């Protein structure tokens, strides 16, 4: 299996989820998708993470983003765990969670933990690390993040990346460090300053010939 890289097509698969069986490319449809993995059900960090994602559901919906989790446990375990997630975080989790007890999808997406030798199940099979994939409507992988099992993720940052990617796909811009929605953006290097002044009527500020800012088109 070749390594997954930015711009490659997200591998298709069939799986059982808490919302029924899916074929992944059909699930994506014309949406953006965030696929994120977890080491195991009924674990502390995972419980807080899924609660955070559930609380951000409206933010994902507003961006045409579907979220789907994955944990290396059976479907029955997922169903019981969701009750805990809802209770602990005071949420109503609506997105699907993939059941991957045999680690087939985890292996397909290279999510298995090869660093922490203690992160294994009772049979000694590695659990997953905390991986994140942002996938666009063309099924292309646009972001890959991998966190250790011990560290919970910042889903505000993941939303920030979605905003940047979607804005960049629509306009000929990139976004600076620490950028957030509404901040100035950078004119893409392929756009001349003369062309930029026509494309961006709010104005172009030339900091350096290679660094030109314009108000966000949001």
Domain boundaries, the chain: 14-152, 171-214
Tell me the CATH number for domain 14-152. Answer: 3.40.30.10
Neighbour tally for 54: CB within 10 Å: 21
Percent of the chain with pLDDT over 70: 92
Radius of gyration over alpha carbons of the chain, in Å? 19
What pLDDT was estimated at residue 8?
95
Average pLDDT over residues 117-131: 64
pLDDT at residue number 110: 87
Q: Which CATH superfamily is domain 171-214 in?
A: Antioxidant, Horf6; Chain A, domain2 (3.30.1020.10)
Active-site residue, from 15, 33, 46, 65: 46
Question: pTM here?
Answer: 0.90
pLDDT tens-digit readout, 40-58: 889 899 999 999 999 999 9
Report d(CA 127, CA 46) in Å as an integer: 13
Range in 42-46, 105-109, 113-117 with the lowest mean pLDDT: 113-117
Report whether pLDDT(203) > 70. Answer: yes
CA dist., res. 138 & res. 32, Å (int): 9
Reported confidence tier of residue 2, pLDDT bands at 50, 70, 90:
low
pLDDT at position 72 is 85
Of 29-33, 90-94, 109-113, the one with minimum mean pLDDT is: 109-113
User: Smallest Cα–Cα separation from 151: which of 120, 129, 182?
Assistant: 129
Q: Quick: pLDDT tens for 141-173.
A: 999 999 887 889 999 999 999 999 999 999 999
Two structure tokens written together for 64 = 């045409």
The CA distance from 129 to 106, in Å, is 9
Instruction: For residue 50, indicate whether it is catalytic.
Output: no
Q: Spell out the SS3 assignment of the chain.
A: CCCCCCCCECCCCEEEECCEEEEHHHHHCCCEEEEEEECCCCCHHHHHHHHHHHHCHHHHHHCCEEEEEEECCCHHHHHHHHHHHHHHHCCCCCCCEEECCCCHHHHHCCCECCCCCCCECCCCCECECEEEEEECCCCEEEEEEEECCCCCCCHHHHHHHHHHHHHHHHCCEECCCCCCCCCCEEECCCCCHHHHHHHCCCCCEEEECCEEEECCCC
Q: What is the pLDDT of residue 119?
A: 57
Q: Is-contact 67 96, C-beta < 8 A?
A: no
Task: State the pLDDT at residue 113.
Answer: 61
What size, in residues, is the chain?
218
Mean pLDDT of 116-136: 72
pLDDT band at 124 (very low <50, low <70, confident <90, very high): low
Mean pLDDT of all residues in 110-117: 65
* Confidence (pLDDT) at 217: 76
What average pLDDT does the segment 1-21 reach?
Answer: 91
**What CA–CA distance (Å, rounded) separates 14 from 121?**
23
More confident residue, 215 or 147: 215
Residue 115 has pLDDT above 60, yes or no: no
> What does the pLDDT read at residue 38?
87
CB atoms within 10 A of CB 147: 17
Average per-residue pLDDT for the chain: 91
């Amino acid at each position: 299996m070749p390594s997954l890289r930015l711009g490659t097509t997200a591998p298709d698969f069939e799986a059982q989820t808490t919302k029924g069986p899916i074929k992944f490319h059909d699930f994506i449809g014309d949406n953006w998708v965030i696929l994120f993995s977890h080491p195991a059900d009924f674990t502390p960090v995972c419980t807080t993470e899924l609660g955070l994602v559930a609380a951000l559901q409206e933010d994902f919906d507003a961006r045409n983003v579907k979220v789907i989790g994955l944990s290396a446990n059976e479907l029955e375990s997922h169903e019981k765990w969701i009750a805990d997630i809802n209770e602990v975080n005071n949420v109503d989790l609506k997105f699907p969670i993939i059941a991957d007890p045999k680690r087939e999808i985890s292996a397909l997406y290279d999510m298995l933990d090869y660093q922490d030798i203690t992160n294994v199940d009772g049979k000694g099979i590695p659990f997953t690390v905390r991986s994140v994939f942002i996938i666009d409507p063309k099924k292309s992988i646009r972001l890959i993040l991998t966190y250790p099992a011990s560290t919970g993720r910042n889903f505000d940052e993941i939303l920030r990346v979605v905003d940047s990617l979607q804005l960049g796909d629509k306009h000929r811009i990139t976004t600076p460090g620490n950028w957030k929605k509404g901040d100035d953006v950078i004119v893409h290097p392929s756009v001349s300053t003369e062309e930029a002044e026509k494309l961006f009527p709010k104005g172009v500020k030339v900091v350096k010939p290679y660094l030109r800012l314009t108000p966000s088109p949001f």
